[in-house]
Amino acid sequence: MKEFHARGIVSGKGAGPALVSEEAISFLGDIDIKSGRVVGDLASVRNASVRGTVLIIPYTRGSAGAWRFLYQLFKHGNHPAAIVSNIVPDPAVIQGAILAGIPTVCEPQGDFKEAIANGQRVEVEVKDSIGIVRLG
Amino acid sequence: MELTREEEDMLAGKQGATKRVAMEGLVQLGRAYGAPRMVEIGYAHVHAGMALYLEDVEMIEELAGQNARFSVPTSVNIANADTVNWQQTGAPEKLARLQQRAGTAHHKLGSSCTFTCTPYWAGHWPTWNMHMTSIESGVTVFCNSVIGAKSNRDGYFSVYAGLTGRYPLFGYHLDENRRGNMLFAVDAQLSGTTDFSCLGFHIGKVVGDGVPVVTGFKRRPSLDELDALGVGMATSGGVALFIIPQITPPYASIEQAFAFGPVPDPLPVRRADIDAVYDYFCTSPTGDVDIIHVGCPHASFEEMREYAEMLRGKKVSANVEFWITTSRAVRNMSQEQGLLKVLEAAGAKVIADTCPISCHFARTVSPDPALGVVPPTIGTVLVDSAKQAKYVRDMIRCDTLLAPTAQVIEAAIAGRYAGPTAQGRTP
């Protein structure tokens, strides 16, 4: 098992298979809340479901409405188990993740980007702003 | 993050579970952005509780049920149905009744039940340097740029800020972030809110989430035009603040807008840039339309007067639906002024609390058979706002036409839009 440190943004613990997006994601429009599927123009993850995955993204694309769609994904039971973003997500995304209780980290350290692959089991744990990402 | 004694008490639950949850959320948000402390806010524009989203009204009801109260003046954002005259928009009664429950909950919470995206036209006008929060990015940009208050683009956490009276100090609450990073020189004659809406859309696309400094206006833009400008920017970009020297407090000059640092070379904005936005939103090949809409963002009293002048003694064609959307406060003012009678006699639907995006978009992404909500069947919508055009096109996924207000109202009377369509523009 490999362990990476990261900045903890939203507290909690979540695990699931990795879903690695090469493109930035907008929670308003890119993901269908009723199915959890990626419907936006994101070539690397198109049609994949985010449900139960650890969503790995470079950053989030801005919309002040993002919180609602992330929260609605949760209400429909289609939310990711955790989010790992290279860059700190937009305030609206953080607000949605807190409401939905989705553990979120950013700035994973070391060679995380090289180590991570689609489908790999990932565990994210955040406590007191300290994030840990475990691959195994 | 350094907290005051009172904030620590809230976090420890000494002021009840609601404030504890709110403060926990605000502290996590603050830590994510390196906020050193909280600021006291003077105003919050908050989430309505949207009937078209799953268990969303219930979120607000839950707060009201816990005897929570807002601790600052609070206005309420747009909703999914006109809670008084829902039949006008074809909303199912079940949906309207659910939306009304949000109003009841907000009354308990102490909110002013504005149900609008333009609370400033309903009397919510903060002051220069006042920290505030807003769930609606158009309100954020208006209050930052026209009034000089301090607001980020927030989401649900505006509710948390309203409950605690606190918000973490980061982003546009810090003076160091309230300075320009791009300079635009407008070299075009602009007239009316649609032109300003298109100018804003153009600038927002170029500047992204930066702070545009805009110069070159031949005259002082009206309040409605400034509103349209900011909303346009917040639609295409992540803009929270624009600076027009001599208008945006406290910026007296271009130099001050750039904090007396280097001033970048101005980017010219020409008429062709504005026209390109009109073109971009004219996707329908013909002038046949189903819904004709004005009032995005929600119309001011001045705009209601303009509409009434254009429609006095005229009749909206039976071929189309003509919607005017505004806040209930402005609708009431219009009624007292005798404008509502003029507009309704002409066959316009004067709708409060909602708009085409707000009452149809969620039907598209989240139809709910239990509420009688089915996806809408709309061919083409003609609008006078770039914001409404963008969301109608991208989210409701129907064709749009975008034209200045006067032409939009002429089309409502004629029953058909005679201006340039996609076919007319694309060779």
- Residue B361 — pLDDT band, cuts 50, 70, 90? low
Tell whether B260 is within 8 A of chain A (Cβ). no
pLDDT at B427: 32
Q: Do B296 and B399 belong to one domain? A: yes
ipTM: 0.93
Whether residue B142 is contained in a domain is answered as yes
Numbers of helices and strands, H then E, in chain A: 3, 7
pLDDT at B358: 86
User: Which residues of chain B lie closer than 8 angstroms to A88, CB-CB?
Assistant: 32-33
% of chain B residues with pLDDT over 70? 97
Rounded mean pLDDT of B52-61?
Answer: 94
Whether the CB-CB separation of A76 and A33 falls below 8 Å is answered with yes
pLDDT at A61: 81
For residue A40, pLDDT beyond 90: no
Token pair 């075009």 in the structure block, residue: B188
- Residue B157 — pLDDT band, cuts 50, 70, 90? very high
Global pTM? 0.95
User: Which residues of chain A lie closer than 8 angstroms to B209, CB-CB?
Assistant: 62
Q: Do B10 and B153 belong to one domain? A: yes
Nearest chain B Cα distance for residue A58, angstroms: 17
A-B contacts (CB, under 8 Å): 76
**A63 annotated active-site:** yes
d(CA B300, CA B135): 20
- Residue B376 — pLDDT band, cuts 50, 70, 90? confident
Domain boundary (B157, B175, B193) is at B175
Q: Do B264 and B406 belong to one domain? A: no
Rounded mean pLDDT of B251-276?
Answer: 98
- Residue B230 — pLDDT band, cuts 50, 70, 90? very high
d(CA B389, CA A66): 19
pLDDT at B426: 41
Chain B, nearest residue to A101 by Cα = B25
C-alpha count within 13 angstroms, C-beta hemisphere, residue B388: 32
Rounded mean pLDDT of A41-61?
Answer: 94
d(CA B325, CA B351): 5
- Higher pLDDT: B415 or B376? It is B415
Q: Do B391 and B296 belong to one domain? A: yes
Lowest-confidence segment of A38-52, B84-98, B157-171, B243-257 by average pLDDT: B84-98
Q: Do B35 and B132 belong to one domain? A: yes
User: Which residues of chain A lie closer than 8 angstroms to B395, CB-CB?
Assistant: 29
pLDDT at B395: 78
Whether residue B426 is contained in a domain is answered as no
Cβ pair A64:B136 closer than 8 A: yes
CA B180 and chain centroid, separation: 23
Using H for helix, E for strand and C for coil, what is the string for B308-376?
HHHHCCCCCCCCCEEEEEECHHHHHHHHHHCHHHHHHHCCCEEEECCCHHHHHHHHHHCCCHHHCCCCC
Rounded mean pLDDT of B242-262?
Answer: 98
pLDDT at B258: 98
For residue B132, pLDDT beyond 90: yes
Rounded mean pLDDT of B211-223?
Answer: 97
Maximum distance among all Cα pairs of chain A, rounded to whole angstroms: 37
Rounded mean pLDDT of B340-348?
Answer: 98
Rounded mean pLDDT of B230-245?
Answer: 95
Q: Do B309 and B408 belong to one domain? A: yes
pLDDT at B374: 77
Torsion of CA A39, A43, A46, A52, to 10 degrees: -110
CATH code, domain with B215: 3.40.1060
d(CA B382, CA B422): 13
- Residue B396 — pLDDT band, cuts 50, 70, 90? confident
Cβ pair A64:B137 closer than 8 A: yes
Torsion of CA B65, B60, A82, A32, to 10 degrees: 140
- Residue B371 — pLDDT band, cuts 50, 70, 90? confident
Shortest CB distance from B152 goes to which of A10, A34, A91? Answer: A91
pLDDT at A64: 82
Whether residue B119 is contained in a domain is answered as yes
pLDDT at B424: 59
Whether the CB-CB separation of B64 and B109 falls below 8 Å is answered with yes
Domain range for B244 is 179-277
Spatial CB neighbours of B53, under 8 Å, sequence gap ≥ 6: A68, A72, A75, B80, B362, B366
Tell whether B136 is within 8 A of chain A (Cβ). yes
- Quick check: helix, strand or coil at residue B390? helix
Rounded mean pLDDT of B310-333?
Answer: 97
Rounded mean pLDDT of A109-125?
Answer: 96
- Residue B365 — pLDDT band, cuts 50, 70, 90? low
Name the domain count of chain B: 3
- Domain positions in chain A are 2-135
% of chain A residues with pLDDT over 70? 99
Domain boundary (B243, B277, B311) is at B277
DSSP per residue, B175-213: GGGSS-SEEEEEES---HHHHHHHHHHHHHHHHTTS-EE
Please tell me which residue in A26, A49, A63, A85 is annotated as part of the active site: A63
Whether residue B212 is contained in a domain is answered as yes
Tell whether B174 is within 8 A of chain A (Cβ). no
Lowest-confidence segment of A11-25, B36-50, B112-126, B382-396 by average pLDDT: B382-396
Q: Do B260 and B339 belong to one domain? A: no
Q: Do B295 and B227 belong to one domain? A: no
Rounded mean pLDDT of B253-266?
Answer: 98
Tell whether B366 is within 8 A of chain A (Cβ). yes
Tell whether B32 is within 8 A of chain A (Cβ). yes
Here the tokens at position B85 are 């005259």
Mean pLDDT of chain B: 94
Numbers of helices and strands, H then E, in chain B: 17, 13
For residue B377, pLDDT beyond 90: no
User: Which residues of chain B lie closer than 8 angstroms to A68, CB-CB?
Assistant: 50, 53, 56, 155-156
pLDDT at B359: 83
d(CA B98, CA B413): 34
Q: Do B260 and B385 belong to one domain? A: no
Tell the CATH superfamily of the A2-135 domain: Phosphohistidine domain (3.50.30.10)
Spatial CB neighbours of B90, under 8 Å, sequence gap ≥ 6: none
pLDDT at B366: 65
Rounded mean pLDDT of B304-332?
Answer: 97
d(CA A117, CA A38): 18
Tell whether B21 is within 8 A of chain A (Cβ). no
Q: Do B269 and B290 belong to one domain? A: no
Helix (H) or strand (E) segment spanning residue B167:
strand B166-168
Whether residue B359 is contained in a domain is answered as yes
d(CA A62, CA B264): 25
Here the tokens at position B59 are 């979120």
Domain boundary (B213, B246, B277) is at B277
Q: Best mutation site among B31, B62, B241, B395 for testing chain A: the one with the most A CBs within 10 Å?
A: B31
Here the tokens at position B202 are 């153009």
Length, in residues, of chain B: 427
Whether residue B421 is contained in a domain is answered as no
d(CA B39, CA B164): 11
For residue B90, pLDDT beyond 90: no
Among residues B248, B228, B243, B400, the alpha carbon closest in space to that of B299 is found at B228
